[in-house]
Structure formats: C-alpha cells, structure tokens
Structure 1
Amino acid sequence: MPEQDTHVVLERLLRLRDRREPLVAQIAEWVGAGIIEGRLEPGQDLNSVELSRRFDTSRTPVREALMLLEQEGLVEMKARRRPRVAAPSLTDIRDIYQVRRHLLAMLAGLLVERATDEELAELRGRVETMRQLADAGDVDAYFWSHVQLQERMTEIVQNATLKQILDSLALRTLMLRHLSLTRPGRLAYSVDDQERLIQACEERDGELASALIAGATVRALRSAEEQIEQDAAGSRKPARRRRPTA
C-alpha cells in the first residue's frame, strides 16, 4: 500500500522513531507527505492554528514538526511570517539534479558489481509491480514504489557514504520526483527506464546501467521543469471577468 510505503520512507528520512512526542512525528509525516505528493503546494502558507485543530493539540507540537521539516528543506519559517511550503528556484533544482545524476550513475555501477542474481531478480519483481501501477495510472502508488526500489538498491550496494549523501538530498528531491511523474505519459516512460536499467544490470553492463539511470534522471528533471513552468504560466493568467447578470 502506498500509505505504508510513505510511512516507512518518511519515518526513516525524518528519523521519526527518535522523536519522544508521537504527535510531532504524526504531524511531520502528514505535512511532509502532503508537500511531496503535491496536496500542499510550493509557497502555500501552513496555518499553525488549523494544523492544531486538525490534530487536536496545542501549537507547540505543530511548530516542532514544522521546524523538523524546515531542517530538511521542505518548509520555510521566517520571522513575523507564517510558515510556508518551500519553493526552490529552478537554479537550486538543477543543481540538486546535477549532483543526483552523478550519484545515481555511481549507484548503478556498484549495483552491477555487487548485486547477486537473486537480488536482481527481486528488483525485477519490484519493477514488474511498478509496471502494473503505471498501467493503472496510479501516480502515488507508482511513485512510492519507485522510491522504495531505489532505497533497496542502495541497501544492496552497501556503500554507507553513498547512501548518506543520497539521503541528505532525498527529501529535497521527492517533491520534484513526484511532480515529474504527473506529466502526461511520464509513468510509461519512467517504468520503461526502470526495465532497461534492470536488464543492463542482469547483463552485468555497468557502463550502460550508469548511462541509463543518468539519462532517466535528466528526463525527470526536464519533466519537473516543464510542469513548474506550466504552473507558473497558469498562475500569471488574469482571471476571466464575469459578465454582469441581468
């Protein structure tokens, strides 16, 4: 279930198990998932009073949860202003994806070297499930399955330094990765990329696997850029004036 995948990923990346106050973790997970899946949009205010009412609590746990998300780059909190969903610039986004592209290329090369045949068979099974989700058009379920696929890859290669660096970028990229998948046709392209990657790994072609995952990352960036630019253009359009009624 995507809800379970969401919980597992956010619990680990936000280190929610370390929180003594369960309500803080619950609020952080709800807001974090909302930002990543696009229900809370970049630049949108996060009303602490409304969140307090939603979770039937004081504003203190809400503020702690938002501060936790601020540390991970998902929320902006400035003096004398309401907290809001972070809105990274296109320059920031391109910088992040440039680094991520090289890290994932390294990941794919290591996967070819270190994964056993049984582990590659497991990854292929995951991709087959992703194909079903893509065919069904289930963006959220496909997205979280894709996140879990890459997390499993990092576990298989057993490079703690690489995993730590990827984790440090993870929450800043999840929203963008989800956004890129909302573009028409992107689910089919994405799952095709995953199938070609697994095939290259099965053939033990590290150079090809690295090139494939790097190319897929560039395409995901372009898709996110296109969606961001489309959303910005839509927000600039003047509202249509309503004709007076008789």
Structure 2
Amino acid sequence: MVGTLKSPALYSQVADLVRKRIFQQELRPGDRIDEVTLAEELGVSRTPVREALKILDADGLVILEPRRGCRVRVLEHKDLEQLFPVMAVLEGLIAGEAVKRTDGKEMANLERIHQNLEDAAAEGDIDRYYEHNYEFHTRLQELCGNPYLQRVAADLRRILILARHRQLKAPGRLQDSLQEHRDLMAAFRKGDAEAADAQMKHHLLEQGRTLMEKEAARH
C-alpha cells in the first residue's frame, strides 16, 4: 500500500486495501491493526481508517475491541462448526445451478481453471492452488445466475477466507482437495446437477472437518 489516497470515499479504499492484505495473508488472524500507523502509511487522517475498520468489523474480518483497538479475526472451533455446514449447503446449491447454465465455452473455462489446480498441486504450491481454487468457486457463483444466493455465499466466503488457506497445509489435504475437485468436474462433464450439489457439499464439509481437527490439536 504505497502512495496517498485521493477520493471522496477514502474509507472505502482503505477498507479494500486492508481486506486485500488479509486475503493475501499479509495480515494474519490475531494480528493487530494500528490506526495511527495505517493512517500515516496511507497519508490520510485517522477518520477514514476508523470508518474502514468499522466496515471490516461488520464484514466479520476484524474485531474492534473497546480500549484495545482492532485485530484480524480468529475463527474459533465454534465458528468453524457453525459456518461450514451453512456454506456447504449454499455452495452445493451454487454448483447444482451452475451445471444447468454451463455451456461449451464455460466448460472450457472451468477445465482451464481445473488444470491450473492440477498443476499447482503437482508442484505442491499451496498459495497458487488456493488462488485458482478461489477463482473456480467465484466462477461457479457467477454461473449460478441467482444474485441472492451469490450475495449470501460471497458474504460468508469473505469470513471463511480467514481459515480456508490453513486447511490445505494439513498432511494429505492438498491431494484430497484436488480429488474432490476432480469428482466435481466429473459431475459437470456429465451435466449432473444433483451430483455436483452433493460433491460440493462434501468438499466444503471436508474442509471444515480438517480445520476443526487442526484447531482441536492445538488445544
């Protein structure tokens, strides 16, 4: 984040920049965000920074604590236990609807993204795998054609980004995730909406199970 921001909606720009840092793991769960330091870095007053952090707090990405400042949210076991089953249902619906709207051109695009997943997994590149995985899920949201479903799923995905990357670092999880994507692609190639829905639910629930196991092992 370099340079001075110039816009009537400075708080929105600041929120976007901090959100990007969180998504790229420059800011990690539990990290403190200092208003003064951030304002100085961006060349703005503390007011747009404070407003930006309020937006991110409402999004569930940070936690504003009275007299203690702001920190990036840490998803606890209970959060994971509650979030992933809901997200599994939503993304299952998205996948099922996306199958019905996938033509030859869109299928070729999904095949391209999936091949990128295959390549990243073969190299053991978790960061690149995650980026292509995010692209894949985003494309399915766009394909599903239901703006209400897209909106709810997108809101929850922003929160789950705080944890999803961690699950890929569990032993064997990268290859398991890839196999789940292979099974999902098989459903898309067959045009089987029901199978795509079921496979996507399984994919999300496996992510949640892995994360909860990692969380339990820490305590």
User: Normalising by structure 2, what TM-score?
Assistant: 0.86
Any gaps of 5 or more consecutive residues in structure 1? Answer: 1-18, 234-246
* Higher Rg: 1
2:172 pairs with 185, 200, 203, which one?
185
1:101 pairs with 88, 97, 121, which one?
88
1:116 pairs with 96, 103, 106, which one?
103
1:76 is aligned with what amino acid?
A: I
Distance 1:62 1:187, change over 3 A: same
Residue 77 of structure 2: aligned partner: 90
1:216 is aligned with what amino acid?
A: H
> Contact conserved, 1:97 with 1:221, CA < 8 A, in 2?
yes
**Cα distance, 1:213 vs structure 2:** 1.0
Residue 207 of structure 1: aligned partner: 194
CA RMSD after TM alignment = 2.1
> Contact conserved, 1:37 with 1:178, CA < 8 A, in 2?
no
Any gaps of 5 or more consecutive residues in structure 2? Answer: 1-6
Residue 138 of structure 1: aligned partner: 125
Residue 136 of structure 2: aligned partner: 149
**Cα distance, 1:49 vs structure 2:** 2.2
2:148 is aligned with what amino acid?
A: T
* C-alpha separation in 1, matches of 2:40 and 2:216: 34
Residue 244 of structure 1: aligned partner: none
* C-alpha separation in 2, matches of 1:120 and 1:57: 45
* C-alpha separation in 2, matches of 1:98 and 1:87: 19
> Contact conserved, 1:37 with 1:140, CA < 8 A, in 2?
no
Q: Are residue 20 (structure 1) and residue 20 (structure 2) matched?
A: no
Q: Are residue 75 (structure 1) and residue 25 (structure 2) matched?
A: no
Q: Are residue 128 (structure 1) and residue 115 (structure 2) matched?
A: yes
> Contact conserved, 1:109 with 1:210, CA < 8 A, in 2?
yes
> Contact conserved, 2:80 with 2:211, CA < 8 A, in 1?
no
Identity across the alignment (%): 29
Question: 4+ runs of 1 displaced by more than 4 Å?
Answer: none
1:154 is aligned with what amino acid?
A: Q
> Contact conserved, 1:74 with 1:85, CA < 8 A, in 2?
yes
**Cα distance, 1:157 vs structure 2:** 2.0
SS of 1:183 mapped into structure 2? coil
Residue 40 of structure 1: aligned partner: 27
* C-alpha separation in 1, matches of 2:26 and 2:81: 23
User: Normalising by structure 1, what TM-score?
Assistant: 0.77
Q: Aligned residue pairs: how many?
A: 213
Deviations 1:171-222 (A, max 9, x none): 1111121221222332222222112211111112222222211111111112
Distance 1:227 1:25, change over 3 A: farther
* C-alpha separation in 1, matches of 2:44 and 2:216: 38
